[in-house]
Homo-oligomer: A and B are copies of this chain.
Amino acid sequence: MKLDQIETPAALIDIARMQKNIARMQGHMNTLGVAFRPHVKTTKCIDVVRAQIAAGARGITVSTLKEAEAFFAAGVRDILYAVSMAPSKLPRAFALRRQGCDLKLVVDNPNAAAAIAAFGDQHGETFEVWIEVDTDGHRSGITPEQDTLLEVGRILHENGVKVGGVMTHAGSSYELDTPDALAALAEQERAGCVRAAQRLRETGIACPAVSVGSTPTALAATQLEGVTEVRAGVYVLFDLVMHNVGVCALDDIALSVLATVIGHQADKGWAILDAGWMAMSRDRGTSKQSHDFGYGQPCLLNGTPLLGYVISGANQEHGILSPTGETAHAEEDITQRFPIGMKLRILPNHACATGAQFPDYHAVAPDGDSVEWRRFQGW
């Protein structure tokens, strides 16, 4: 199907850009001598993950057990469920392991560790657990020097659970925007996670895996001594937030939303599109960054960014395209430049959030032809 035949709004993946992003990240990991485990929460799409694995990824990271189930059914065996385990979810994790899935769980507290140990003991299952380490204070995890780290390790190790490794995610990298700051955080992430593994090993726990990552720190890292693998998700598509962080160019962004002009408010300089927040998502991640892209950056159908215009507002199924800055556009400009029926592509703030609004992507080949790639929703 050609672009002008696709009903709007639609989520487009530019295959050539996606493959370039995959090759860039995998190449960087190869150079650094670490394995790469992509986070598939960004796309929840088997076609994308197959491309990541074909390029050299080893295993995947998931954010939900539904992802684990869907990707295991599609043939991926090595899966890290990277959200601290809720004891009530253990039966689903157990079922996956019994089917042969090499599912690794994550904990960052003694209670969940004890619950996993007790469940494993009760059901005769040796779970593998990685301990979550907090290296930047942005969310979950145990800091490397906390005694809780060793307590959790001990609870697992002494109760028949395999401590497979430590993992951390320096998500505060999204708030940075200079190469030096990103490189410093990458080193902080590496050093903290390696230190946590070292402390566990000193108590007699093998802790083979040392897993770090976020898209910005993964791309900024220059050496990863002691690290065995890196995780990253959004790099596969990139978005305007990552552009502001400084790790991709506008023309690296592989996800866009195809939209149609359906109206104008000429006196305000507005063109109204049929892509509102239901299509773009409510993510306003660029609002606190150096360049606020509103609800997205409009581009021509061929991908050329329409600099000087932005999606300035959104209702559920209406997006407002308007000029940025002080320059007033004449009435005829907006209606003539963006006539009724014109199709545009909008680069999103956050690829993970925008993708989630759609049941499928249209994957666009360099010749302009496209195929549908399913993605899934829910938990």
Interface membership of chain A positions 98-139, coded 1 if the CB is closer than 8 angstroms to chain B and 0 otherwise: 000000000011011001000000000000000000100001
Contact among B10, B134, B274, B339 for A111, CB-based, below 8 A: B339
Interface membership of chain A positions 20-55, coded 1 if the CB is closer than 8 angstroms to chain B and 0 otherwise: 000000000000000000000100000000000000
Residues on B with beta carbons closer than 8 Å to the beta carbon of A111: 339-341
In contact, B139 and A83 (Cβ under 8 angstroms): no
- Docked CA distance A228–B159 (Å): 70
Contact among B8, B274, B350, B377 for A377, CB-based, below 8 A: B377
How many chain A residues touch B (Cβ–Cβ < 8 Å)? 58
In contact, B109 and A340 (Cβ under 8 angstroms): yes
In contact, A356 and B86 (Cβ under 8 angstroms): no
Task: Name the residue of chain B whose CB is nearest to the CB of A357.
Answer: B356
Contact among B134, B277, B341 for A353, CB-based, below 8 A: B277
Contact among B63, B86, B316, B340 for A316, CB-based, below 8 A: B63
- Docked CA distance A178–B339 (Å): 39
In contact, B353 and A282 (Cβ under 8 angstroms): yes
Residues on B with beta carbons closer than 8 Å to the beta carbon of A359: 377-378
- Docked CA distance A350–B281 (Å): 13
> Of the 9-residue stretches A72-80, A256-264, A322-330, which lies at the interface with chain B?
A256-264
Task: Name the residue of chain B whose CB is nearest to the CB of A132.
Answer: B263
In contact, A274 and B358 (Cβ under 8 angstroms): no
Q: Does A89 contact B (CB under 8 A)?
A: yes
Task: Name the residue of chain B whose CB is nearest to the CB of A282.
Answer: B282
- Docked CA distance A83–B318 (Å): 8
**Residue of A274, A320, A359 ringed by the most chain B CB atoms within 10 A:** A274
Chain B proximity of A241: nearest CB distance (Å): 12
Q: Does A171 contact B (CB under 8 A)?
A: yes
Contact among B88, B340, B378 for A112, CB-based, below 8 A: B340
Interface membership of chain A positions 335-379, coded 1 if the CB is closer than 8 angstroms to chain B and 0 otherwise: 000011100000000101100111110000000000000000111
Task: Name the residue of chain B whose CB is nearest to the CB of A377.
Answer: B359
User: Which of A269-283 touch B at CB < 8 Å?
Assistant: 272, 274, 277-279, 281-283
In contact, A83 and B317 (Cβ under 8 angstroms): yes
Residues on B with beta carbons closer than 8 Å to the beta carbon of A89: 7
Q: Does A244 contact B (CB under 8 A)?
A: no
In contact, A272 and B88 (Cβ under 8 angstroms): no
- Tell me the A residues contacting B by CB distance below 8 Å: 7-10, 41, 63-64, 83-89, 92, 108-109, 111-112, 115, 134, 139-140, 171, 260, 262-265, 272, 274, 277-279, 281-284, 313, 315-318, 320, 339-341, 350, 352-353, 356-360, 377-379
